[in-house]
Chain A
Amino acid sequence: MKKTLMGNHAVAVGAKLAKVDVVAAYPITPQTQSVELIAEMQAKGEFKGRYIKVESEHSAMAALIGAAIAGARTFTSTSSQGLAYMHEMLHWAAGSRLPIVMADVNRGLGAPWILWSDQSDTLSQRDTGWMQWYCADNQEVLDSILLAYRVSEQLCIPCMIILDGFTLSHTYEPVDIPAQEKVDEFLPPYKPMAAIDIDKPATVGSLPSSKDYFRIKRRQAIDMDKIEGVFDRSVEEFASIFGRRYGLTEGYRCSDAETIMVMAGAVATTAKEAVDQLRQEGKKAGLLYLRSFRPFPTKQLKGYAKPGVRFAVLDRSYSQGHHGIIFEEMKSALYTCNPRPGIYGFVAGLGGGDITVELLKEMWAEADAGKPGADETVWLEEAR
């Protein structure tokens, strides 16, 4: 059934359909309506899980860690400063191998104080051991939550579903809401790898030897490497039930493209329009949409790096002292390509700056002409 949903409500409906056992959350703009709707659905009896009101995001994640260790399917959502405050607990969740799923509504980080979207908050959590999937529309937000539980619970790796603040969170568009029976068919109840049991007392995460710690981290790494296979198999099942298919990356008009724009998030749908317009002008433009940032889909990206192809990478974050984060990750992933492709870095839309079709076409043209230096970041600003 198609309904007009804002991204925040797609988040809440996704969590309800996934039959989450425990939600613990703290409200923050622009995430607020996602947890408000879950609370409302719980009050009406439509959502059967527990809703724990907490005093901070740090506590929200701590509560979910406890619930997940006890074998519950868990969910939260946050944004920006809230995610930053959760940082310590993010490592704790991933290291404890708890398949917690969280939505993060992208918003810039202070200072100065900012409410609008960019990817600084999530990309700052790159090394916490969480999967990071970026969404391009509200359908993808809902679907990704279901897919996330399917993948996370098979590998015991937590997953962050990321949607742009306001651009998706507050924007209404048609979303196909799947029937509960179909979701149940796709998503079996959670069976934890190791749940604590009141009759057999044990602790999780207590001090190991350095040797054990080292091996636990190695196991975490090797399981992270298995995501691609598990993701692909899960997507096949998803597609057979719901008729929609997702990849860790998605190429648009890339087969004969000479210069390919690379980006994550909702700006990708605007970029499709930019690619179509460039194509109409006879230019060989393509779009590579990075759905998964962690794991970084190096193998798939290499498939696009045919000889002579150039990449124009759009970052909505900046690592001070280096460059845009996705730009650097792309360079790292494609370093072993022979010949090595031209990769150009652009930063735009920090703190919610508008990214228009015109801006994207200009970015494409600069990269296509090979204008920026290899170690240069080009800062683009919407002129209007």
Chain B
Amino acid sequence: MPRLEGDPNQFEAIKLSTRSMSEVHTGNWRSLKPAIDHSKCTNCMICWKYCPEACVQIATGSPVIDMNYCKGCGICAFECPTKCISMNADAGL
């Protein structure tokens, strides 16, 4: 039945959006996945600085990319002075 079900008195009159952008997992926008070759990485933090999604974590001193948010844009790989980041097909099939 397409009749609108439920008690309309119980429908929200005002919908407050409490959703943080951190809940939007933009990782599923990605078609290429970055991989860091840590043997070549100098921990210069340029990838951290350039990542437009701010998803390069450096808490441990060396970069770790948060795949929940990485859109696969490849800016980190392009900017990396030692070319230690490769972009790989992320088919997931």
A residues lining the B interface (CB < 8 Å)? 112, 348, 358-359, 362-363, 378-383
Assess the B3–A380 pair: CB atoms within 8 A. Answer: yes
Q: Please, how many angstroms separate the alpha-carbon atoms of A358 and B1 in the complex? A: 10
- List residues 1-59 of chain B with CB under 8 A from any CB of chain A: 1-5, 15
Assess the B2–A112 pair: CB atoms within 8 A. Answer: no
Assess the B15–A362 pair: CB atoms within 8 A. Answer: no
Assess the B4–A362 pair: CB atoms within 8 A. Answer: no
Assess the B15–A380 pair: CB atoms within 8 A. Answer: no
A-B contact pairs, 19 of them (CB 8 A): A112-B15, A348-B2, A358-B2, A359-B2, A362-B2, A362-B3, A363-B2, A378-B3, A379-B3, A380-B2, A380-B3, A380-B4, A381-B2, A381-B3, A381-B4, A381-B5, A382-B2, A383-B1, A383-B2
Nearest B residue (CB) for A356: B2
- CB of A353, distance to nearest CB on chain B (Å): 10
Apart from A362-B3, A381-B2, list 7 A-B contacts with CB within 8 A.
A348-B2, A358-B2, A362-B1, A362-B2, A380-B2, A382-B2, A383-B1
Interface residues on B, range: under 10
How many A-B pairs fall under 8 Å by CB? 21
Nearest A residue (CB) for B5: A381
Interface of B is mostly: loop
For residue B1, which residues in chain A have a CB less than 8 angstroms away from its CB? 362, 383
Q: Please, how many angstroms separate the alpha-carbon atoms of A60 and B15 in the complex? A: 33
Q: Please, how many angstroms separate the alpha-carbon atoms of A112 and B16 in the complex? A: 10
For residue B5, which residues in chain A have a CB less than 8 angstroms away from its CB? 381
By CB atoms of chain A within 10 A, which of B2, B3, B5, B15 has the most?
Answer: B2
For residue B4, which residues in chain A have a CB less than 8 angstroms away from its CB? 379-381
- CB of B9, distance to nearest CB on chain A (Å): 14
Nearest B residue (CB) for A362: B2
Shortest 3 CB-CB distances between A and B: which pairs? A379-B4, A380-B2, A381-B4
- CB of B4, distance to nearest CB on chain A (Å): 4
Q: Please, how many angstroms separate the alpha-carbon atoms of A175 and B2 in the complex? A: 33
- CB of B42, distance to nearest CB on chain A (Å): 46
Q: Please, how many angstroms separate the alpha-carbon atoms of A378 and B3 in the complex? A: 7
Q: Please, how many angstroms separate the alpha-carbon atoms of A358 and B2 in the complex? A: 9
For residue A379, which residues in chain B have a CB less than 8 angstroms away from its CB? 3-4
- CB of A220, distance to nearest CB on chain B (Å): 40
For residue B3, which residues in chain A have a CB less than 8 angstroms away from its CB? 362, 378-381
Q: Please, how many angstroms separate the alpha-carbon atoms of A382 and B3 in the complex? A: 9
Nearest B residue (CB) for A358: B2
For residue A382, which residues in chain B have a CB less than 8 angstroms away from its CB? 2
Q: Please, how many angstroms separate the alpha-carbon atoms of A379 and B2 in the complex? A: 8
Q: Please, how many angstroms separate the alpha-carbon atoms of A382 and B4 in the complex? A: 9
- CB of B3, distance to nearest CB on chain A (Å): 6
For residue B15, which residues in chain A have a CB less than 8 angstroms away from its CB? 112
Q: Please, how many angstroms separate the alpha-carbon atoms of A378 and B4 in the complex? A: 8
- CB of B75, distance to nearest CB on chain A (Å): 28
- CB of A43, distance to nearest CB on chain B (Å): 32
Q: Please, how many angstroms separate the alpha-carbon atoms of A383 and B2 in the complex? A: 6
By CB atoms of chain B within 10 A, which of A358, A359, A382, A383 has the most?
Answer: A383
For residue A362, which residues in chain B have a CB less than 8 angstroms away from its CB? 1-3
Nearest B residue (CB) for A355: B2
Q: Please, how many angstroms separate the alpha-carbon atoms of A362 and B2 in the complex? A: 7
Nearest A residue (CB) for B17: A112
Q: Please, how many angstroms separate the alpha-carbon atoms of A348 and B4 in the complex? A: 9
